[in-house]
């Protein structure tokens, strides 16, 4: 895959960034601010994804785009997909549609990094939480990590098998704090072995905190513990602070698979249409269709996921935070039209991606902990046939809970040590930067990714062979803890992921 028209800007992105108290969890829907020489900075240009009938780019594809009045900005040659911009959408669409190699075209809709919003918690309530710790005390042993305790059976799975660096989880997200004391020993190859797909950046340092938080849940090993505290990690950065183009994400999937990772975690998503797109020229009123009913952006995701799975990669994704029934997707078509622009209309059903793509383990978010019952988090998507597993994602406590320490029902994990604003509550309670709370299906997916990595590592150590993605998924589903049903649940799929049972049953 190659990025076109972008000159790299040297930056380490290791500067303190004040993003507000982490307990606010207000992750803004900000698009990436591209460098001045990026063609995407021109508001007069429209961005499109193009999928070719072949899973390889045809000969002369760049000349084809140029002749259609477009400019090639990104290509993912391994799956026959490219991105282009144009100042004449009507001409571009008609010209590309006339090419026999083209399958379909869709507007390139930015993927947003969104978390549910929580109100700021009050002062620490004495006697109703694990309490304040000294900097040399273990967070894991203190009882703050209710989510990892649930998934690992109070740490029992760590004693069975905690993973090895022979198994690596690729985290497609905002990047890592590579110097975090609870992560650095598990990051394979350090920052040089990780990658960025964000224009204008050269490295995968975390400039937001989301990716570092996800990494800690998977493989934290220090004051706090992850689900699989000895597996390897690699970062594939596709977000800066909020938005990413889908082409960057699909390219990251391909890169992670080519790098030989065993698990991909994608705590991200968006909504895409399985159906037919139309464009109406605002000046002439002429209406044209964008290829056939196989929308290019969905095709790109399907091909990328299939590419990874065929190479033995288990792919895990968050279900999404819009509290929608994923088994009834037609309701979100209006949202698609609004985000693509008034020139577009669409016919068909909408999918949550990558969550709904075949081959993905899709995870809903649960609340619980501190003596409270399991429950679907208020923001979590759900749906018959759409969810594979549930996992702790956090909320602000059960109905009626109004104590000031309600933040404890969120998920605690690592955050960048160089971001004071993300560590404010953690520093207050634990005496140093580097720990904070978040909530969302983004926090649930890495619980499953960690359990998958631990199981793969155990099988590899015992047999010298790694299980297939299907075998991993089946194992996690068969050993999941029943929550509201002894069978399949529309809220939690096959149940809450249970790393201990996956390793011992």
Catalytic residues: 173, 210, 442
Q: Quick one: which H or E segment has residue 445?
A: helix 441-463
Nearest of 395, 430, 372 to residue 323 by alpha carbon: 395
Q: Quick one: which H or E segment has residue 195?
A: strand 195-196
Say how far residue 448 (Cα) sits from the centre of its chain: 13
Which residue matches tokens 């994990």?
A: 413
Say how far residue 415 (Cα) sits from the centre of its chain: 16
Dist. CA 220–CA 384, nearest whole Å: 33
DSSP string, 456-488: HHHHHHHHSSPPPHHHHHHHHHHTPBPSS-SS-
Locate 269 and state its tokens. Answer: 């998503």
The pair phi, psi for residue 42, each rounded to 5°, is -90, 115
Locate 369 and state its tokens. Answer: 């902990």
Q: How far is CA 250 from CA 74, 273, 349, in A?
A: 11, 17, 22
Q: How far is CA 504 from CA 228, 361, 458, in A?
A: 15, 21, 10
SS3 state of residue 458: helix
Dist. CA 277–CA 91, nearest whole Å: 16
Cβ neighbours, 10 Å, residue 93: 25
């Amino acid at each position: 895959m190659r990025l076109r028209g972008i000159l790299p800007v040297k930056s380490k992105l290791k500067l303190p960034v004040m993003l507000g108290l982490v307990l606010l969890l207000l992750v803004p829907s900000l698009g990436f601010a591209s460098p001045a020489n990026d063609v995407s900075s021109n508001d007069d240009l429209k961005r499109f994804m193009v999928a070719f009938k072949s899973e390889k780019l045809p000969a002369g594809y760049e000349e084809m785009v140029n002749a259609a009045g477009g400019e090639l900005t990104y290509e993912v040659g391994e799956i026959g997909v490219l991105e282009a911009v144009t100042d004449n959408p009507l001409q571009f669409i008609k010209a590309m549609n006339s090419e026999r190699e083209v399958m379909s075209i869709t507007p390139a809709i930015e993927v947003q990094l969104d978390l549910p919003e929580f109100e700021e918690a009050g002062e620490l309530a004495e006697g109703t939480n694990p309490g304040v710790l000294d900097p040399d005390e273990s967070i894991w042993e203190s009882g703050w990590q209710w989510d990892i305790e649930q998934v690992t059976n109070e740490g029992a799975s760590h004693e069975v098998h905690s993973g090895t660096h022979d198994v690596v989880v690729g985290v497609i997200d905002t990047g890592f704090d590579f110097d975090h004391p609870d992560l650095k020993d598990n990051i394979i190859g350090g920052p040089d072995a990780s990658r960025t797909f964000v224009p204008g950046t050269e490295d995968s340092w975390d400039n937001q905190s989301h990716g570092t938080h996800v990494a800690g849940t998977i493989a934290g090993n220090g004051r706090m513990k992850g689900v699989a505290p000895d597996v390897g990690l690699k970062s594939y950065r596709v977000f800066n602070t909020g938005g990413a183009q889908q082409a960057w994400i699909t390219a990251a999937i391909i890169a992670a698979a080519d790098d030989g990772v065993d698990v991909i975690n994608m705590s991200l998503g968006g909504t895409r249409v399985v159906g037919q797109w139309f464009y109406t020229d605002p000046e002439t009123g002429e209406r044209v269709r964008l290829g056939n009913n196989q929308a290019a952006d969905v095709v790109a995701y399907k091909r990328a996921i299939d590419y990874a799975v065929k190479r033995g990669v288990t792919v895990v994704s968050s279900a999404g935070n819009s509290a929608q029934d994923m088994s009834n997707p037609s309701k979100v078509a209006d949202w698609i039209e609004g985000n693509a622009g008034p020139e577009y209309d669409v016919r068909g059903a909408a999918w949550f991606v990558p969550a709904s793509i075949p081959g993905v383990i899709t995870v809903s978010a649960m609340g619980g902990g501190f003596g409270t019952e399991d429950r679907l988090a208020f923001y979590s998507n759900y749906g018959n046939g759409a969810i594979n597993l549930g996992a702790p994602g956090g909320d602000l406590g059960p109905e009626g809970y109004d104590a000031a320490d309600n933040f404890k029902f969120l998920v605690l994990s690592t955050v960048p040590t160089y971001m004071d604003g993300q560590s404010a509550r953690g520093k207050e309670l634990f005496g140093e930067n580097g720990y904070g709370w978040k909530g969302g299906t983004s926090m649930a997916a890495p619980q499953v990714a960690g359990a998958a990595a631990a199981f793969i590592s155990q099988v590899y150590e015992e047999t010298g062979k790694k299980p297939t993605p299907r075998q991993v998924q089946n194992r996690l589903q068969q050993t999941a803890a029943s929550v509201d049903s002894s069978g399949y649940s529309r809220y939690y799929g096959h149940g809450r992921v249970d790393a201990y049972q996956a390793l011992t049953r």
